């Protein structure tokens, strides 16, 4: 081997520099990918927070209760509950559904609620209290479900943050009944009419 063919210091420096460049480029690509994922996650969180802004300003509670017996307001049995909804946002809500204790519900379809609404719900079977205790409406769970001004559906229980309700068309069985009528085929001469 000739001395001219042997690797020189500049060749070694060039080789190590190339390896170091590949390593640093790989680190830069990994860091850029991590930064991109972080920014996407932050944007999604900001959008979810922005979407829930109106839903956080809708509050429901039990405001009054009554029973058939004279002392029912204090110790039960409670046969009627009055729910109250307050809309502190500047935009109306639509298609309100109030569910009390997962048993009784009240629907207000098509009405726009701008500031507040209240309604009585009849409780069958009535809410019974233990002897010697006083009825506390804070122990009764009230869940409100509504559509906000942006068209998003929300559900909220007292004391919890709102949760988005996603509608899945595949779960809607009413659509299956109409599919034969929605076909674009025209009936033939000897076919029965679709209705």
Rounded Cα distance, 33 and 54, in Å? 34
- pTM value > 0.75: no
Domains of the chain from N-terminus onward: 55-175 (2.60.40)
| Burial of residue 152 (number of CB atoms within 10 Å: 0-12, 13-18, 19+) | middle
135 has pLDDT over 90: no
> Counting beta carbons within 10 angstroms of the beta carbon of residue 94, is it exposed (0 to 12), middle (13 to 18) or buried (19 or more)?
middle
- Asked if residues 55 and 144 have their Cβ atoms less than 8 Å apart, the reply is no
pLDDT of residue 38: 96
- What pLDDT, on the 0 to 100 scale, is given for residue 191? 56
Most confident range (mean pLDDT) of 75-79, 111-115, 155-159, 191-195 is 155-159
Question: Residue 165's beta-bridge partner residues?
Answer: 153
Question: What's the first-to-final CA gap in the chain, in angstroms?
Answer: 96
Distant-in-sequence, close-in-space partners of 52: CB < 8 Å, separation ≥ 6? 154, 161, 162, 164
The tens digit of pLDDT for each residue in 151-178 reads: 889 998 877 889 998 876 555 555 555 5
The model's pLDDT over 37-87, given as tens digits with 9 standing for 90+, comes to 999 999 999 998 988 898 998 888 888 887 777 776 777 777 888 888 888
What lies within 8 Å, CB to CB, of 121 at 6+ separation is: 80, 81, 82, 83, 98, 100, 104, 105, 106
Q: Which of 78, 71, 69, 68 is nearest to 121 (CA)?
A: 78
CB 96 within 8 A of CB 87: no
The DSSP letter of residue 93 is B
């Amino acid at each position: 081997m000739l001395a001219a063919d042997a690797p020189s210091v500049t060749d070694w420096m060039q080789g190590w520099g190339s390896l170091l460049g590949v390593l640093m480029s790989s680190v830069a690509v990994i860091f850029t990918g991590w930064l991109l994922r972080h920014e996407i996650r932050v944007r999604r969180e900001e959008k979810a927070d922005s979407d829930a802004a109106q839903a956080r300003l809708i509050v429901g509670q039990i405001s009054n209760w009554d029973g058939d017996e004279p002392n029912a307001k204090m110790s039960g049995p409670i046969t009627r509950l009055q729910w109250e909804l307050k809309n502190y946002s500047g935009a109306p809500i639509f298609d309100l559904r109030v569910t009390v204790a997962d048993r009784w519900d009240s629907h207000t379809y098509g009405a726009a609620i701008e500031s507040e609404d209240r309604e009585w719900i009849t409780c069958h079977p009535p809410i019974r209290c233990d002897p010697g205790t006083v009825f506390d409406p804070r122990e009764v769970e009230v869940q409100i479900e509504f559509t906000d001004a942006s068209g998003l559906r929300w559900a909220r229980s007292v004391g919890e943050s709102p949760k988005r309700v996603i509608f899945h068309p595949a779960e809607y069985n009413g659509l299956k009944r109409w599919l034969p009528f929605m076909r674009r085929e025209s009936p033939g001469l000897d076919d029965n009419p679709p209705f």
